[in-house]
Structure 1
């Protein structure tokens, strides 16, 4: 049994990862109180955290945060900067599912890295987004995969799959490329 650093109640690895994933998702419901620096320090491992928002390389001219892995605290802060200069995230109270909507595989492993204990969490969210440049909005579903958790349940790698075509159109202000 593990101890959750948040409440000191013994729990399984699965429940620890579920609790930590819920806390991470909840932070997005109040972004003004959870700026990038705070998100990284409270929810990510200090051992070179990584963020990857998957998307096509052709879209990076309008969406510079897509299609590459940001590694380390400074690069992860760059991800948040590029993202916030391009898109606004407008969550609602039902953006993320409850605990039963979070899929946990406590035994899953990725490429081995020092300080990572493994485990993987997947969650599907939904929200409204707005282009900072054009003001155009759209709604979409997106998927987060969190992996490379350390012993305390802090995230090693956050991967995002979203709708880059809707973002591309909204940011460009047109109906297509």
Structure 2
């Protein structure tokens, strides 16, 4: 039974990541989240660097606000996920992601490797969504100075 739960957690994480990578409509992405008021999205980083960093987005409205804030600042392409690590006891899955991100207002882009830790509820819905990413590149792109620092035009 233990390996069955591990497989279910991995499958739930893969389904969420696939929906996000495929840029599915927001309703489909939100369908992977718990309906609990305790659901939370948190992207690690200094809040001064980007509007989606360093603060909890809690509850259903918070999850929607987080993704609206992200989509208002960033676009992405070629997103893929690998290295799914399942912690069956804690109901968490850690996953490595890669994508090309663009800060939309400056059109400056960077390739990034990032990590998600997804915590699931008993219904295999995401209860906690944590992100560790390159907040420095995001900040520099938002200021329009990333390309000059990395030698791009």
- Taking structure 2 as the reference length, the TM-score comes to 0.89
Give RMSD over aligned pairs.
1.6
The answer to whether the 8 A contact 2:19-2:28 is kept is: no
Task: State the match for 2:40 in structure 1.
Answer: 50
C-alpha displacement of 1:29: 2.4
The 2-side partners of 1:82 and 1:65 are apart by: 6
What is the SS of the residue equivalent to 2:64? helix
1:30 aligns with 2:5: no
Measured in 1, the distance between the counterparts of 2:78 and 2:129 equals 18
Match of 1:8 in 2: none
Q: Which of these residues, 98, 118, 123, is aligned with residue 126 of structure 1?
A: 98
Partner of 2:109: 137
Runs of 4+ with >6 A deviation: none
Match of 1:85 in 2: 72
Counterparts of 1:134 and 1:28 in 2: how far apart (Å)?
A: 23
What TM-score, normalized by structure 1, do the two folds share? 0.77
What SS class does the counterpart of residue 156 from structure 1 fall into?
Answer: strand
Q: Give per-residue Cα distances to partners, 1:104-152, cap 9 Å, x unaligned.
A: 01112xxxxxxxxxx11000111100011010110010000001x1222
> Aligned-pair distance for 1:50?
0.9
Structure 2 unaligned spans of 5+:
none
Q: How does 1:51-70 map to 2 (within 5 A)?
A: 51-59=41-49, 63-70=50-57
Cα distance in structure 2, aligned partners of 1:167 and 1:150: 31
Whether 1:174 and 2:145 are equivalent positions in the alignment is yes
- Corresponding residue for residue 39 of structure 1: 29
Count of residues in Structure 1 that have an aligned counterpart in Structure 2 = 146
TM-fit CA distance, 1:158 = 0.4
Q: If each structure's strand is expressed as a fraction of its own residues, which one has the higher value? A: 2
- In the alignment, the residues of structure 2 paired with residue 106 and residue 162 of structure 1 have an alpha-carbon distance, to the nearest angstrom, of 24
